[in-house]
A = this chain, B = another copy of it.
Amino acid sequence: HFCSKCCIKSAQMCLTGQYIHFQVHKCALSSNNSMVCFHCNSYCKLDSGWVRSVRPQKENLFLHVNDGSSLQSLQVVASSELNHRLLTFGSAVEISGSLVTSPSRKQEVELQADQIDVVGECNPVDFPFKIKKKHGLEYIRQFPHLRCRTNAFSSLLRIRSEATAAIQQYFKEKGFIQVHTPVLTSNDCEGAGELFQVEVSSKNQDEEGHQHFFSVPAYLTVSGQLHLEVMAGAFPGVYTFGPTFRAENSQSRRHLAEFYMVEAEISFTQSLEDLMKVMEDLFRSTTEHLLDQCPEDVALYHKHVITYTEAINILNSSSKKFAFKTDWGCDLQTEHEKYLVKHCGDFPLFVTDYPYALKPFYARDNQDQPLHTAAAVDLLVPGVGEMCGGSLREDRLDLLKTRLAQAGLDEAYGWYLDLRRFGSVPHGGFGMGFERYLQCVLGVDNIKDVIPFPRYSRSCLL
């Protein structure tokens, strides 16, 4: 089903097959009944959607009807006789009629309705969103079960869906295998943040009570990386894209208890440049996909690379007072990251080669004493700070063994050492916060506004 005018697949704009919503029944512009495209504003027929405005005039009734397939609503013109008290803002309607060229300049086409049925009422007094009123995001956020009915949030949902598809398409084209890494895990000692623990609901538990369902304590994953590394032992490239969890007691605009992360591992690589190339390509190709129809040359696409040591020098020679100190060896805070991005021209910025002591056991030792850094890299972006973090992984069995033993983790990670024993390959990987990505490209301030159902400390609505 392609539109003969603009060659855009009609399925992207409207549902086909058994549940057609844009369909020509009796068309004023064409003699045939073939499917046509709404995108290029050529003729079509809208037969169901939600009322966005009602303007009764003397002879005619004007409606705007939206079916969620795009931001744009369709103008519907009907005889005043078809007006009805249930035809209110927010109500769901099914309409039959003909699409004709519009006499107005505001739209190319409009629907002349023969019949309008209200299939779902909507009392405008009770409905929390009011006609023609622009509600703030904070107000909208109070109605998680209804906010998809606003322009802002329905747009966000379309964009999120497109971005998800673009990420998957990127990795598929590059030959990566998508792995469903588990949400439940018995790894409890990675120390990458506060953990959620999982047990059978108390009301379902036996009298006996507290035996673990899995025999061992189980947690919600904080990262799929170690599981991906298992699969990196048999494939040149693997990735995962799914929910990740942190039990951080934070009410910040940047944190959620449940968020989506893209993580990838690449085998047979020994350079951070390889990793940075994938991180950059992923960002670029996903964003290009989103901007498909508006191909401006976005400044976003510039980028810089500095080392952690250079970053510290920049911070130390700044006149700005930071809340956290910036000695070599310190972790970069959000205030530092934002300063660095600004300092480097407000473009995406890679920071490489972090202090060895700051990084987890799996980061590859650069063996560059006395400074002693690890082959790790973060991608910082304007407005958000850290969006991606990655590293080459320590593939040398002896070094990894020593480090795990020093941390008292060698027993728990026997299986991880096995990966280095049986045909290990030099590899590296990274993770990208999907919500952070959306915040960055959309300029959305609060992370709760880029996820369908936000979960955070003291809030798990619905």
Using CB atoms and an 8 Å cutoff, list the residues of chain A in contact with chain B. 9, 11-19, 21, 48, 50-51, 67-69, 90-92, 94, 119-123, 126-127, 144-146, 148-149, 154, 157-158, 160-161, 164-165, 168, 172-188, 194-202, 204, 213-220, 226-227, 230-231, 233-237, 242-243, 245, 247, 249, 257-258, 260, 266-269, 273-274, 277-278, 281, 395, 415-416, 418-426, 451-453, 455, 457-462
Complex: chain B residue closest to A123, CB-CB: B421
Residues of B within 8 A of A420 (CB): 120
Contact B234 A148 (CB under 8 A): yes
Residues of B within 8 A of A197 (CB): 198-202
Residues of B within 8 A of A168 (CB): 165, 168
Per assembly, the copies of the chain total 2
A375 to chain B, nearest CB (A): 16
Known pairs A158-B177, A180-B452, A182-B455. 14 more at Cβ < 8 A? A13-B175, A19-B268, A21-B268, A50-B234, A50-B423, A51-B423, A94-B268, A160-B178, A165-B168, A165-B178, A180-B260, A186-B462, A197-B200, A213-B257
A362 to chain B, nearest CB (A): 14
Contact A174 B452 (CB under 8 A): no
Contact A218 B460 (CB under 8 A): yes
Decide: A184 near B236, CB < 8 A? Known: A175-B15, A197-B199, A227-B453. no
How long is the Cα–Cα vector from A278 to B91 in the complex, in angstroms? 26
Closest 6 CB pairs of A and B: A120-B424, A68-B235, A214-B460, A148-B234, A195-B201, A18-B277
Q: List 15 A-B contacts (CB under 8 A).
A: A11-B175, A21-B268, A69-B235, A91-B423, A146-B230, A149-B234, A165-B172, A179-B452, A184-B455, A186-B461, A194-B200, A197-B199, A204-B247, A213-B457, A214-B458
Contact A126 B421 (CB under 8 A): yes
A286 to chain B, nearest CB (A): 14
Complex: chain B residue closest to A193, CB-CB: B204
How long is the Cα–Cα vector from A413 to B183 in the complex, in angstroms? 27
Residue of A219, A234, A260 contacting most chain B CB atoms (<10 Å): A234
Contact B247 A460 (CB under 8 A): no
Residues of B within 8 A of A457 (CB): 213-214
How long is the Cα–Cα vector from A236 to B185 in the complex, in angstroms? 36
Decide: A184 near B258, CB < 8 A? Known: A233-B148, A234-B148, A422-B146. yes
Contact A237 B19 (CB under 8 A): yes
Contact A195 B184 (CB under 8 A): no
Residues of B within 8 A of A144 (CB): 230
Contact B15 A174 (CB under 8 A): yes
Contact A200 B237 (CB under 8 A): no
Contact A149 B423 (CB under 8 A): yes
